[in-house]
Amino acid sequence: MAPIRIILIDDHAVLREGVRAVLETDTDFSVVGEFGSGNEALASAAALAPDVALVDLKMPGLSAPETIAALRERVPGIRVLVFTSFGEDALIRATLDAGATGYLLKDALQHDLIAAIRSVAAGETFLAPAAQRQLMELLRKPQPARDALTARETDVLKLIAEGLSNKQIGKRLNLTEGTVKGYVSQILAKLRLEDRTQIALYAVRHGLASGA
C-alpha cells in the first residue's frame, strides 16, 4: 500500500519538526508538506494531494475552521485532524462543523498521534477524551432556535461571506457604515454567532455564500 500522505499546518516550526520526526519513523506515513499558516497551505495543497492534514487550532491568518473548509474544497477526499494545545468548546464545534474528523491535544503520546492519523485516514472519527467530554456537554445543552433574518440582513450576510468590510458593504447596498454595523450585530445576535468568521461559515453551510 502507498504511504499516507500528510501535510502539517502549524505556526510553530519546532513542533512541525518534532511531528515529522515521529511520523517518518513509520513507513506507512509520508510528510509531503509543512506550512506555518492556512494561507500557505492552501497555496500548495492541491498540488501535493495529501490524504491527511494536521491542523493547529490557532494560527495567524485564516482561522482553523476556514482553513479546514477550504482544504476540503480544494483537495477532495482529504481528512483533517486538528492537533492543538487548546480545547475550547466553540472552537471544537466550529472545526468539526467545517469538516474535521479528528481532534487530538498536543500532550498526547506518540502512539495516540499515530492511531489518530490512521483513524482519520481510514475515514473514521478520532476524538481526544477531552474533546469527547466537551462535545457531550454541548450535545446535552438545548440549542435555541435561530431567529429568521430579514431580506436586508441576508444581503449583508452574503457580502460578509464574500469578505467585504462594513464600508464596502455600505457602498454596495447604499447604506452608511454605521447602519451596516448595526445589521452585523443583529445577524450575530439572531444566529447565536460570535464573529464575522462564523457568519461566513454559516453562509457556506446554508448555501448563502457566492457560488454555493
**Each residue's pLDDT tens digit in the chain (212 positions)?**
789 999 999 999 999 999 999 999 999 999 999 999 999 999 999 999 999 999 998 888 888 888 998 999 899 899 999 988 766 556 777 787 788 888 888 888 899 999 999 999 998 888 877 666 666 665 555 555 556 888 899 999 999 988 899 999 999 999 898 889 989 988 988 888 888 888 888 888 888 876 54
Nearest of 115, 131, 77 to residue 99 by alpha carbon: 77
- C-alpha span between 28 and 112 (Å, rounded): 15
**Per-residue model confidence (pLDDT) at position 33:** 96
Angle at 130 between CA 96 and CA 112, to 5 degrees: 85
**Per-residue model confidence (pLDDT) at position 122:** 92
CATH topology classification for 151-205: Arc Repressor Mutant, subunit A (1.10.10)
Element (H, E) at 173: helix 166-173
The label of the residue with cell 475550547 reads 88
**Per-residue model confidence (pLDDT) at position 146:** 59
83-121 CB burial, b ≥16 within 10 A, e <16: bbeeeeeebbbbbbbbbbbbbbbbeeeeeebbebbbbbb
| Neighbouring residues of 101: CB distance < 8 A, sequence distance ≥ 6 | 79, 80, 81, 120, 123, 124, 125, 126
**C-alpha cell of residue 7:** 501535510
Domain ranges of the chain: 4-140, 151-205
**Per-residue model confidence (pLDDT) at position 46:** 93
- What is the number of other CB atoms lying within 10 angstroms of the CB of residue 155? 16
CATH topology classification for 4-140: Rossmann fold (3.40.50)
**Per-residue model confidence (pLDDT) at position 191:** 87
- C-alpha span between 50 and 180 (Å, rounded): 40
